[in-house]
Amino acid sequence: MMNSTSASPAEPTISVSGDGTDARRNSKRPKYSRFTQQELPACKPILTPQWVISIFTLVGIIFVPIGVAALLASNDVVEIVDRYETECIPKNISDKIGYIQNPAISKKCTRVLKVPKDMDKPVYVYYQLDNFYQNHRRYVKSRNDQQLRDKSKANETSGCDPEKTTANGMPIVPCGLIAWSLFNDTYNFTHSNGETLTVNKKDISWKSDRNHKFGSDVFPKNFQNGTLKGGKTLDPTVPLSKQEDLIVWMRTAALPTFRKLYGRIEVDLKENDTITVELENNYNTYSFGGKKKLVLSTTSWLGGKNDFLGIAYISIGGVCFFLATLFTIVYLVKPRKLGDPSYLSWNSNRLMQ
């Protein structure tokens, strides 16, 4: 770095070793280094046709197989979706909201699902809500993580407005709108062969949430005691870390359409099996016109049924091939010698005069 390349003999060479002190003669010459002279070795890639065409070809080659694989994976997933909030309400009822809010009426409802293809265990059971804004600002912030984690912080209800305390000022645990509006429809599955399909509701939430976010010694208190009842009530004897429905629900969704895991059915289902679902249609989506769907789904390496990635990959790959071909054709038909000085405008203008 320090090898000075002094051109003139009159100018003392700045030597690295200390022997040249007299020769140094108080020169103000800037010290040479490749950095200070902006001469660091640099690679300067440019967009040659070869490079660009090969990049696009390469992307095409990589993307199409991945897309095909993703599409196949998505197709392998068997999914049963059943929208029930329209069916599970008596036809003659006009005041749907009044109906759903009336606790006296039994909301039991039976649905029959047909398995379109073999479904290998585990079969995941989801509920899907539409037009439900878990990401609304008032909603998403209405919780207190300290209270959920720590027994001693039960009084910590800041941010939980408007579900902070009961009418007489007792802190609610878990506080906040999210917990208060916990989804409370229930599903029971019976196989067509008469067997009850048990839904395994253990470990449906994130392990990290159970272990670190929801205390094993924090118990629900004063929950759903208010005049206005939101959603599900919680068993005050079960600690929060075991209330997995709550933990799942508290992982708020980013979009107004979302699925949440309800449980797993640990049995293989065969094609053309029918499953009878006994459900309780408790949760109010009528006031905002939201849909409720029950989803049974298997899974793949990419997750659930989602054609988006596969289709996107295949189309991007296709577009890349197209562009590569286009560029090649244009390059062959209308070759353009890059860096031809005659393109320099000042040359062409003047020389043509």
Partner 1 sequence: MKRFVYINDDSFQDSFCDNRISNRKYTILNFLPKNLLEQFSRFMNQYFLLIACLQLWPLITPVNPASTWGPLIFIFSVSSSKEAWDDYNRYLSDKKANEKKVWVVKEGIRNQIEAQDIHVGKIVWLRENDEVPCDLVLIGTSDPQGICFVETAALDGETDLKTRVIPSACVGLASEQLHKIKGVIECPNPDNDIRRFDSNMRLFPPFLDNDICPLTINNTLLQSCYLRNTDWACGVAVYTGNETKLGMSRGIAEPKLTAVDAMIDKLTGAIFLFQLVVVVVLGFAGNIWKDTEARKQWYVMYPIEGPWYELLVIPLRFELLCSIMIPISIKVSLDLVKTIYAKFIEWDEEMFDQDTNTPAHAANTAISEDLGQVEYILTDKTGTLTENSMVFRRCCISGIFYGNENGDALKDAALLNAISNNVPDVIRFLTVMTICNTVIPVKSIGGAMMYKALSQDEYALVNAASQLHMVLISKSGNFLQVNFRGVALQYEILDILEFTSDRKRMSVVVKDCQTEKIILLSKGADEAILPHASVAGQQLRPFIDAVEQYALLGLRTLCFGWRELDEGEYIEWSRMFKEANSTLTDREWKLAEVCQKLEHHIEILGVAAIEDRLQDGVPETIETLRKSGINFWMLTGDKQKPRGQLLFLNGRTEDEVFRSLEMVLRTMKITSSEPKEIAFVVDGVALEIILKQFKVSFTELATLSRTAICCRVTPSQKAQLVELLKSCDYRTLAIGDGGNDVRMIQQADIGVGISGREGLQAARAADYSIGKFRFLKRLILVHGRYSYNRTAFLSQYSFYKSLLLCFIQILFSLFSGVSGSSLFNSVSLMAYNVFYTSIPVLTCFLDKDLSEKTVMQNPQILAYCQAGRILNPTTFAGWFGRSAYHALVVFLVTMHAYAGEKSEIEEVSMVALSGCIWLQALVVTLEMNSFTILQHIAIWGNFLAFYVINSIVSTIPRLGMYTIMFRLFRQSSYWVTMILILAIGMGPVLAIKYFRYTYKPNIINILQHQERSGGPVYAMGIGNLESQLRPMDSDLSSLSVTQSKSRNTVHEPLLSDSPTATRRSVGPSTFEFFPSAQSRLSSTSTYNRNFKNN
- Binders of partner 1 in range 41-100 (CB under 8 A): 41-47, 49, 52, 55-56, 59, 63, 66, 70
Give least dist CB 332 to partner 1, A.
Answer: 13
Peptide bond preceding 122 in cis form (omega within 30 of 0): yes
Residues of span 206-265 touching partner 1 by CB under 8 A: 206, 208, 212-213, 230-231, 251-261
Give least dist CB 85 to partner 1, A.
Answer: 15
Beta carbons within 8 Å of 170's beta carbon, 6+ residues apart: 221, 222
Give least dist CB 166 to partner 1, A.
Answer: 15
Cα(280)–Cα(185) distance, integer angstroms: 5
Which of 24, 108, 121, 138 touches partner 1 by CB under 8 A?
A: 138
Is 323 a binding residue for partner 1 by CB under 8 A? The answer is: yes
Is 122 a binding residue for partner 1 by CB under 8 A? The answer is: no
Report yes or no: 292 and 129 within 8 Å, Cβ to Cβ: yes
Cα(246)–Cα(238) distance, integer angstroms: 12
Is 304 a binding residue for partner 1 by CB under 8 A? The answer is: yes
Residues of span 15-44 touching partner 1 by CB under 8 A: 26-32, 36-38, 40-44
Q: Compose the 140-179 pattern: x for residues touching partner 1 by CB under 8 A, - for all others.
A: xx---x-------------x--xx-------------x--
Which of 57, 76, 133, 321 touches partner 1 by CB under 8 A?
A: 133
Task: Tell the residue number behind the tokens 């769907």, with chain if given.
Answer: 293
Cα(343)–Cα(334) distance, integer angstroms: 15
Phi-psi region of 78 (alpha: psi -120 to 50; beta: other; left: phi over 0): beta
Report yes or no: 307 and 50 within 8 Å, Cβ to Cβ: no
Is 320 a binding residue for partner 1 by CB under 8 A? The answer is: yes
Would you tell me the crossing angle of helices 49-76 and 307-333 to the nearest 10 degrees?
160
Which of 86, 135, 196, 200 touches partner 1 by CB under 8 A?
A: 135
Three-class DSSP category at 242: helix
When the beta carbons of 192 and 252 are compared against partner 1, the nearer one is 252
Beta partners for residue 125, in sequence order: 263, 296
Give least dist CB 170 to partner 1, A.
Answer: 19
